[in-house]
Amino acid sequence: MKTYEDIAGDGGSNIIEQVEALGEKLRARLDRIKYKVALMSGKGGVGKSSLTANVAACLVDKGHSVGILDADLNGPSICHLLGVKNSHKLIIDDRGVQPGVGSHNIKLMSMDMLLSSPDSPVMWTEEADATAVWVSTMESTALRELVADTDWGDLDFLLIDMPPGSDRIDNIRSLIPELAGVVEITIPSPLSQHIVSKSITKNNKMKVPIIGLVENMAGYTCPHCEKEGPLFEGEDVENLAKQKNIPYLGKIPFDTRIGRKTDSGSLYYMDNKGSVTGKAINSVVEKILESIK
């Protein structure tokens, strides 16, 4: 009787060939991007997306070409931050899906660009009676398609704005094994540090390179007089970095203007480079660059 190896092909489903072809497509996209950096936190609400957008602006200011992948599938915010409206027409051709182009020519891809209206939620057709396994599977597949099917072109940096939690890094790591590293973000509160500590531990165990820890919302800067004051009571975040043996990238004071574009349509960083918060963002970016180069 014939064995598995005696029969050519894979039974007619072409699954092996399809998986190989999809892998080649993904590789071809990623090879044109020099550095891939994920910005993450175990905790939600620590300012990941606003910081990602402003780190991107800072990199552009230094002469780099930058794209952002919004990996927060269920809570996408990068389109909003970079001014790409829901009415943006999707262009899909043989090369793939054209990314949106936001402020400062930052390219981006987000689930928000695929939805029919601004308030449409990300829902899957099978979701009504789908199992948790199915939804999780669908999200993994969606993430792969967002990375592999977007025509990013040549980029110096692809920043990945991760969702809250530490589970999605597994997907990103398998899709982008050459990930330059992750930037962990926390706010000073003990609760945030407690959760981010788990995220760091997980990444260390998985041997995901950690570029360092950023202390976001580290105090409040008055936009008028630039006087600083405390925003959250908490332990020294630098200690957490020491305990976990990862670099401390610095603290970024909270500025109420950071999450929105300025009157000129720029991201906060571009119009406020000289502010306390602007300088802090630049310092963090310099340390990221030193680390990955």
Partner 1 sequence: MKFLCIPCDEKMETQVDGIMPEEKKNLVMKFKCKKCGHSIAMLTNKFETEFVSKLGVQVNTTAAEAAGTPLGVVSGALAEGKEELKKGAPTEEDIEWTEDAKERIQRVPFFVRNMAKKTVLSFAKERGITVIDGKLMDEVREKVGM
The least distance separating partner 1 from the CB of residue 31, rounded to whole angstroms, comes to 16
Sign of CA dihedral 60, 286, 244, 195: negative
Q: How many residues does the chain have?
A: 293
- Closest approach, Cβ 220 to partner 1, in A, equals 38
CB of 46 to partner 1, least distance (A): 28
Closer of 97 and 101 to partner 1 (Cβ) = 97
Which H or E run includes 289?
A: helix 276-292
Considering the complex, state which of residue 140 and residue 204 has its C-beta at the smaller distance from partner 1: 140
Q: Are 68 and 192 in contact (CB under 8 A)?
A: no
Please report how close the Cβ of residue 166 comes to partner 1 at its closest, in angstroms.
Answer: 20
Q: Can you tell me which residue has the tokens 């706010």?
A: 187
Q: How many CB atoms lie within 10 A of CB 266?
A: 15
Place of tokens 């620590």: 46
The binding site for partner 1 (CB under 8 A) comprises 1-2, 4, 7-15, 17-22, 24-25, 89-92, 94, 96-97, 114-117, 120-127, 129, 131, 133-134, 137-138, 140-142, 144-146, 149
C-beta of 17 vs 238, nearer to partner 1: 17
Choice between 20 and 31, CB closer to partner 1: 20
Instruction: Tell the smallest beta-carbon distance from residue 281 to partner 1 (Å).
Output: 33
CB of 3 or CB of 264, closer to partner 1: 3
Which is closer to partner 1, CB of 176 or CB of 182?
Answer: 176
Round to whole Å and give the CA distance between 185 and 215: 6
Tally the C-alpha atoms within 13 A of residue 193's C-alpha that lie toward its C-beta: 19
* Beta-bridge mates of residue 161: 39, 70
Q: Which two tokens stand for residue 217?
A: 């919302």
Note whether 152 and 182 are within 8 A (CB).
Answer: no
Strand duo 66-70 + 107-109: pairing:
parallel
Shortest distance (Å) from residue 78 CB to partner 1: 17
The tokens 């199992």 sit on which residue?
Answer: 131
Pairing of strands 210-221, 92-93: unpaired
Of the pair 136, 239, the CB lying nearest partner 1 is at: 136
Least separation in angstroms between residue 236's CB and partner 1 is 42
